[in-house]
Homo-oligomer: A and B are copies of this chain.
Amino acid sequence: MDLAELREQVCEANQELVRAGLVTLSFGNASGVDRDRGALVIKPSGVAYARLGPSDMVVVDLADGTVREGPYRPSSDTPTHLALYRRYPSIGGVVHTHSTFASSWAQAGRPIPCLGTTHADHFHGPVPVTRALSAEEIDGDYERETGNVIIETLAGLGLDPLEMPAVLVLSHGPFTWGAGSAEAVANAIALEAVAAMAHRTTTLEVAVEPIAALLLERHFGRKHGPAAYYGQPAERD
């Protein structure tokens, strides 16, 4: 894959966020990485989605974070994406949205409990929420620290990024990732659906029990790992 193809994929990923209803105004961004070329491709900052084409995507150096190609300044959240790509060699795409149900859990400071199989199909347990950033982190390299606190959260829980491809940043919103930008978008869509269901379940029944551990394993295992049997052989994620 060359960078032209990655620009197409990343542009399509950003447009899919709009079609899926996860975007208000110009909030949100998707990126993809080309590890051979040591570059990531990301949406430009604050440009209206309706005007975005592949040539508007910005190519950023994975090592030093400078812009290599593209007419625009990259998303202001680029340092968060960089931190995640650098720490997790297994991921190829990152998405950030302010989708309203997932952000409501982030604002409430509560992990999204795993209440059913829709959740278990995509996320291997409760979706965690980060600690608050310190004053130094907010005043410093804020967007990079946002990436760091996501990494710290997964590490603290002993979670692999592909079994838990989403974290809620406290008082902010969700970041998701995956094998590529399309998978990161799919996880953002699944997360919002799961967040909506968990909200509706919780407002109906405050003391709801999480899904049985065995059922969680069965559903996550249907779609992920060596024993997966969901989807077509060539398409399994």
Chain A: residues with CB nearer than 8 A to chain B?
24-25, 27, 44-47, 72-73, 76, 98, 100-101, 103-110, 115-118, 132-133, 135, 138-139, 142, 171-173, 186, 189-190, 193, 196-205, 208-209, 211-212, 214-215, 218, 222, 229-233, 235-236
The closest CB in chain B to the CB of A71 belongs to B232
CB within 8 A of A46: which of B27, B209, B218, B232? B232
B-side contacts of A104, CB under 8 Å: 197, 200-201, 204
Min CB distance, A46 to chain B, in Å? 3
A205 to B190, CA, bound (A): 23
Closest 10 CB pairs of A and B: A46-B231, A104-B200, A108-B205, A107-B201, A107-B115, A107-B116, A24-B193, A104-B201, A117-B172, A171-B211
B-side contacts of A198, CB under 8 Å: 107
Asked if B235 contacts A197 (CB within 8 A), the reply is: no
Given contacts A186-B25, A233-B73, contact A116 B103 (CB under 8 A): yes
A189 to B125, CA, bound (A): 30
A189 to B23, CA, bound (A): 11
Asked if B118 contacts A215 (CB within 8 A), the reply is: no
B-side contacts of A142, CB under 8 Å: 218
Asked if A229 contacts B46 (CB within 8 A), the reply is: no
Asked if A190 contacts B24 (CB within 8 A), the reply is: yes
B-side contacts of A105, CB under 8 Å: 204
Asked if B232 contacts A45 (CB within 8 A), the reply is: yes
The closest CB in chain B to the CB of A134 belongs to B214
A236 to B76, CA, bound (A): 13
CB within 8 A of A204: which of B24, B203, B231? B203
B-side contacts of A118, CB under 8 Å: 24, 27, 98, 103, 173
Asked if A229 contacts B108 (CB within 8 A), the reply is: no
Asked if B215 contacts A100 (CB within 8 A), the reply is: no
